[in-house]
């Protein structure tokens, strides 16, 4: 019964396509009609859990595929990120397969198909559970003015620029036959995910049987593949939907936590310890700090700042920028020793005092210049 139904569908598709070709001259309308012909057939035989639409596919990094004629995706769990009458935007994690539909296939159109499907298979899948089959890419054409052998030559040439796993799964020319990938070991098992152990082969048959085989290959892949729920927060953070920035009041900051910065890791207790000098920091940020305030803050927190920097960037710093100028850490440490001696009423020799005075005055001069710039 299924065979007779599909054979009847194949004959009707050819009639419908002939009418479209004869009556519609505008290429855009003709393209839409050929896709509708194939869609109307597939919708009769593909289970309802599979949704089919045209549109683009996107991943969580913000990369997009080229426009797809038919996207087959999970209709139960997949969010449609953009849902307009003219096009849809589907997350790659929800996509089982894509189909590129052509009126007639030739070398130019094969190159377009190869690049189109490669743009889908280049997208990164990042599902919540990590379970995701690769996306299959099919090509369906109603006819071709060239032989299947020539089309295979064209496909092999186009594939030279594309990695194996990004290549077309199967190609059907309704009135001629199919080009599929078969295992090199035995040369008979059809594989819908091309790899280094597969090679392309030709299957010639009647239009009815070609459509039957195309349907069976598509259903076989849909039945054996798995999709998953996309991590929508990663899509949001990619900037395609919205930007998410967290804010935690100081009294609720978990001191046993950490955050990541430029590949490094900063412990929150270190950052919080630095912020304990918030009154001094506020004066410095307001532009009201004295030289003594700056030196007092550095004497209390220089080691913590260095620890913070090392955690963030993965290496110890020999220089540190303060108010737009780099200072050697060793010079700052030496100045702090002198500052503490002066603060405690200890004796300081002239060489130490001259060094301290020069460095601290230079730092304060840069601080004041930064304050003036911020007020302009």
- Domains of the chain, residue spans: 2-237, 250-375
Q: How far apart are CA 147 and CA 152, in angstroms?
A: 9
Mean per-residue pLDDT, 31-39:
74
Q: What is the CA radius of gyration of the chain?
A: 33
Per-residue pLDDT band for 371 (boundaries 50, 70, 90) equals confident
- 119: region left, alpha or beta (phi > 0 left; psi from -120 to 50 alpha): alpha
Mean per-residue pLDDT, 19-47:
67
- Residue 58, classed as helix, strand or coil, is strand
Per-residue pLDDT band for 247 (boundaries 50, 70, 90) equals low
Supply angle C-alpha 77, 32, 4, rounded to 5.
Answer: 75
Element housing 183 (H / E) = strand 177-183
pLDDT surpassing 60 at residue 36: yes
- List pLDDT tens digits, range 58-117: 988 888 999 999 999 987 877 766 665 556 888 999 999 999 999 899 999 999 999 999
For residues 114 and 154, is the Cβ–Cβ distance under 8 A?
Answer: no
Structure letter (DSSP) for residue 335: H
- List pLDDT tens digits, range 149-197: 999 999 999 999 899 999 999 999 999 999 999 998 877 789 999 999 9
Rounded to the nearest 5°, which phi and psi values hold at 81? -70, -25
pLDDT surpassing 60 at residue 352: yes
Q: How far apart are CA 292 and CA 343, in angstroms?
A: 10
pLDDT value of position 242: 53
pLDDT value of position 30: 46
Supply angle C-alpha 232, 252, 231, rounded to 5.
Answer: 10
Label the pairing between strands 68-74 and 170-173: unpaired
pLDDT value of position 240: 47
Mean per-residue pLDDT, 318-324:
82
Element housing 53 (H / E) = strand 50-58
Mean per-residue pLDDT, 219-248:
74
Q: How far apart are CA 177 and CA 151, in angstroms?
A: 11
Asked whether the whole model's pTM tops 0.75, one would answer no
pLDDT value of position 345: 85
Q: How far apart are CA 39 and CA 32, in angstroms?
A: 10
Mean per-residue pLDDT, 22-37:
58
């Amino acid at each position: 019964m299924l065979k007779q139904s599909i054979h009847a569908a194949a004959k009707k598709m050819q009639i419908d396509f002939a009418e479209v070709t004869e009556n519609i001259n505008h290429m855009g309308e003709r393209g839409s009609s050929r896709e509708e012909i194939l869609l109307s057939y597939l919708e009769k035989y593909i289970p309802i859990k599979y949704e089919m639409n045209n549109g683009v596919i996107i991943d969580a990094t913000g990369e997009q595929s080229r426009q797809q004629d038919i996207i087959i995706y999970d209709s139960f769990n997949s969010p449609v990120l953009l849902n307009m009458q003219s096009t849809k935007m589907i997350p790659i994690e929800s996509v089982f397969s894509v189909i590129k539909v052509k009126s007639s296939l030739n070398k130019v159109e094969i190159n377009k198909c190869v690049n189109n499907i490669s743009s889908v298979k280049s997208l990164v899948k990042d599902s919540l559970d990590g379970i995701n089959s690769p996306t299959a890419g099919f090509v369906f054409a109603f006819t071709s003015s060239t032989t299947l052998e020539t089309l295979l030559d064209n496909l092999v040439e186009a594939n030279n620029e594309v990695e194996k796993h990004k290549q077309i799964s199967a190609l059907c020319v309704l009135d001629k036959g199919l080009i599929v990938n078969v295992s090199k070991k035995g040369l008979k098992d059809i594989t819908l995910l091309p790899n280094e152990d597969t090679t392309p082969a030709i299957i010639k048959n009647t239009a009815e049987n070609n459509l039957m085989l195309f349907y069976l290959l598509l259903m076989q892949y849909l039945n054996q593949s798995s999709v998953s729920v996309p991590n929508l927060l990663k899509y949001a953070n990619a900037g395609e939907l919205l930007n998410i920035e967290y804010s935690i009041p100081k009294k609720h900051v978990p001191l046993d936590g950490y955050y990541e910065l430029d590949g490094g890791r900063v412990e929150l207790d270190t950052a919080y310890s630095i912020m304990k000098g918030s009154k001094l920091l506020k004066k410095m940020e307001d532009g009201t700090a004295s030289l003594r305030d700056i030196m007092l803050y550095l004497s209390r927190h220089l080691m913590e700042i260095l620890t913070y920097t090392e955690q963030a960037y993965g290496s110890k710093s020999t220089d540190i920028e303060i108010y737009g100028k780099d200072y050697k850490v060793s010079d700052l440490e030496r100045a702090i020793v002198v500052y503490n001696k002066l603060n405690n009423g200890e004796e300081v020799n002239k060489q130490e005092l001259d060094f301290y005075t020069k460095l601290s005055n230079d730092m304060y001069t840069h601080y004041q210049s930064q304050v003036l710039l911020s007020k302009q």
